[in-house]
């Protein structure tokens, strides 16, 4: 029944077309709700596939008799044999096997590696979010996420312990080159030379990690992530490397295999201490005894940028279609004198970092053809209206009667009472209220480092349109430009309101909290 309902809803999503933003709302059994703008959903379908289970099943590990008692898995995450390369992960990411590994698509980075890079997690001194985390948390650990809570990625100290307490030599298993570690108790573990993947400029090998370069695999070496951050250069993390240096570092966006460890024995399969896992003379191995495959059905949401999001249908409790007015949009009490509550995102956006939709002033529908002759209404001798009516307010029409576009006075109050700061990431500024709460504005016009947001008021002197602007300004100091965050109100002195150049975003406000 669940699958039938979801199938019907998913197919229905593809036929929706409206100027009002419509979202496919997916609710999972953990209470998480995810929204997808149907304009950007290319396809939604169900895929049933046969998979070898990971997280709820058994994996082989080896007790090497190490001082810490650490138990090492016999194969890489994503592999089914000890010589298999398995999956490749960026450090701190749990989804494997991207088409290319670079800073442009790295989960915890904003900006390019060579310029304007900031880190949003695992950072104590780099530009970005400061959290002082130096070891991966379980939710960002590829071993934990894919194999279960008993497994994790090794720390650099655990890799060092492996190196210091074992003899290791280059060998091969079933024709796959690798390195074998043999402990004093006779047990051994094999690491194939799976290499690592990264972006590189084919015409200049010194240019790396940029999004528009091709992805290559640096083979002929064993590179494996540790869970430890490089605290000297926090854009990097520690890795094990057989051919280069036992413990070195690589850029966090690179794609490397992962070998899991655990600290407690369990019903998972353990290799006895008197068993040699690998016979280096015969190039033979003991295959990992994984359980038999079974079928799983996933709901796939395929976006227009070809990103695919998968949901296990057993964990999907509801799929429905909603408009922006159906969503309980979040807002922030900044402690302003008037008590005005500011939304955390723009109309047409779900998160504060999304730009949302672009509107002409006085229009409530978005699109590419911004045409409404505002000269027939507002600010003229016929009606004398200087503030948008609800029926012409993009916030009210799209989000509901409790929301509206801010007035000039409300925007001025925001600017006068809030501290303007850079947010964690490129192209974002936050305004911090008197009570310490804050809201984020994304540059909707990055070419000029500023975002413009419509106000509902016309200028009382000449009837021109007004906007709130939030962004960066630069001053020249010692031959260099120094940028600093700014916010204010600008009067847009245009003769007409029908030009597409007057397409700006809308940040709603409300006067009272949700009931």
What are the tens digits of pLDDT across the range 220-271?
678 899 999 998 888 899 998 876 567 788 889 899 999 999 987 654 545 4
Looking at per-residue pLDDT, the higher value among 55 and 467 belongs to 467
* Whole-number pLDDT of residue 493: 56
* Whole-number pLDDT of residue 351: 80
Element (H, E) at 490: strand 480-492
Read off the pLDDT of residues 274-310 as tens digits, 9 standing for 90 and up: 333 433 333 333 333 333 444 667 787 887 767 677 7
- Tell me the sheet residues that pair with 323: 22
Looking at per-residue pLDDT, the higher value among 370 and 363 belongs to 363
Pick the CATH number of 2-51+294-325 from 3.40.50, 2.30.30, 1.10.3470, 1.10.12: 2.30.30
* Whole-number pLDDT of residue 273: 40
* Whole-number pLDDT of residue 74: 92
Q: Does the pLDDT of residue 174 top 60, yes or no?
A: yes
| In the chain, % of residues over pLDDT 70 | 72
Which of 353, 339, 512 is CA-nearest to residue 414? 339
Can you give the length of the chain in residues? 515
Domain boundaries of the chain, sorted by first residue: 2-51+294-325, 61-282, 329-510
Say if residues 302 and 10 touch (Cβ distance below 8 Å).
no
User: How many angstroms separate the Cα of 436 from the Cα of each of 127, 247, 424, 511?
Assistant: 21, 43, 16, 19
What's the CA gap between 482 and 468, in Å, rounded?
23
What's the CA gap between 273 and 187, in Å, rounded?
6
Read off the pLDDT of residues 340-366 as tens digits, 9 standing for 90 and up: 999 999 998 888 878 888 888 888 887
Q: How far is CA 277 from the centre of its chain?
A: 39
Mean pLDDT of 36-56: 68
Torsion on CA atoms 178, 183, 186, 187, rounded to nearest 10:
-60
What's the CA gap between 56 and 62, in Å, rounded?
19
Quick count: other Cβ atoms within 10 Å of Cβ 201?
Answer: 13
Read off the pLDDT of residues 403-434 as tens digits, 9 standing for 90 and up: 999 999 999 999 999 998 887 655 678 899 99
Q: Which of 132-146, 185-199, 370-384 has the lowest mean pLDDT?
A: 370-384
Q: Does the pLDDT of residue 494 top 80, yes or no?
A: no
Q: Does the pLDDT of residue 53 top 80, yes or no?
A: no
Q: Give the burial class of 32: count Cβ atoms within 10 A of its Cβ; 0-12 exposed, 13-18 middle, 19 or more buried.
A: exposed
């Amino acid at each position: 029944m669940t699958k039938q309902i979801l199938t019907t809803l998913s197919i229905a999503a593809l036929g929706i077309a409206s100027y009002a933003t419509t979202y496919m709302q997916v609710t999972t059994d953990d209470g998480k709700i995810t929204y997808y703008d149907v304009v950007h959903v290319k396809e939604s379908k169900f895929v049933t596939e046969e998979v070898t289970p990971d997280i709820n099943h058994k994996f082989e590990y080896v007790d090497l008799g190490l001082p810490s008692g650490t138990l090492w898995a016999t194969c890489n995450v994503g592999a089914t044999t000890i010589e298999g390369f398995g999956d490749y992960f960026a450090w701190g990411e749990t989804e494997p096997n991207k088409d290319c590994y670079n800073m442009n698509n790295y989960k915890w980075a904003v900006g390019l590696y060579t310029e304007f890079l900031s880190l949003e997690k695992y950072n104590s001194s780099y530009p970005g979010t400061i959290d002082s985390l130096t070891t991966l948390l379980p939710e960002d650990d590829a071993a934990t996420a894919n194999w279960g809570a008993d497994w994790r990625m090794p720390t650099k100290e655990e890799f060092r312990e492996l190196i210091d307490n074992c003899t290791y030599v280059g060998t091969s298993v079933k024709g796959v080159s690798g390195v074998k570690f043999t402990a004093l108790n006779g047990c051994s573990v094999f690491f194939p030379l799976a290499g690592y993947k990264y972006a590189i400029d084919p015409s200049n090998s010194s240019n790396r990690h940029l999004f528009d370069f091709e992805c290559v695999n640096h083979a002929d070496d064993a590179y494996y992530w540790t869970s430890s951050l490089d605290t000297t250069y926090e854009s990097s993390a520690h890795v094990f490397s057989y051919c280069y240096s036992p413990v070195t570092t690589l850029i966090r966006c690179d794609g490397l295999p992962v070998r899991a460890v655990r600290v407690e024995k369990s019903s998972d399969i353990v290799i006895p201490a008197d068993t040699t896992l690998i016979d280096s003379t015969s190039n033979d191995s003991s295959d990992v005894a994984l359980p038999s495959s079974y079928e799983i059905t996933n709901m796939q949401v395929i976006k227009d940028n070809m990103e695919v999001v998968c949901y296990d249908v057993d964990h999907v409790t509801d799929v429905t279609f909603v408009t922006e007015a159906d969503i309980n949009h979040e807002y922030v009490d900044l402690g302003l004198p008037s008590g005005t509550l500011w939304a955390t995102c723009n109309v047409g956006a779900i998160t504060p970092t999304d730009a949302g939709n672009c509107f002409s002033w006085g229009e409530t529908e978005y699109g590419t053809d911004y045409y409404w002759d505002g000269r027939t209404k507002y600010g003229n001798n016929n009606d004398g209206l200087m503030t948008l009516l609800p029926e012409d307010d993009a916030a009210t029409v799209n989000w509901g009667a409790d929301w509206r576009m801010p007035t000039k006075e409300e925007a001025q109050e925001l600017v006068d009472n809030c501290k303007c700061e850079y947010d964690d990431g490129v192209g974002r500024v936050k305004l911090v209220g008197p009570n310490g709460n804050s809201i984020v504005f994304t540059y909707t016009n990055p070419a000029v480092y500023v975002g413009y947001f419509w106000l509902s008021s016309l200028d009382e002197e000449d009837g021109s349109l007004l906007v709130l602007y939030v962004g960066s300004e630069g001053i020249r100091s010692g031959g260099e430009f120094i940028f600093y965050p700014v916010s204010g109100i600008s009067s847009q002195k245009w003769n007409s309101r029908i030009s597409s150049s007057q397409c700006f975003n809308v940040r709603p406000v409300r006067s009272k909290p949700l009931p």
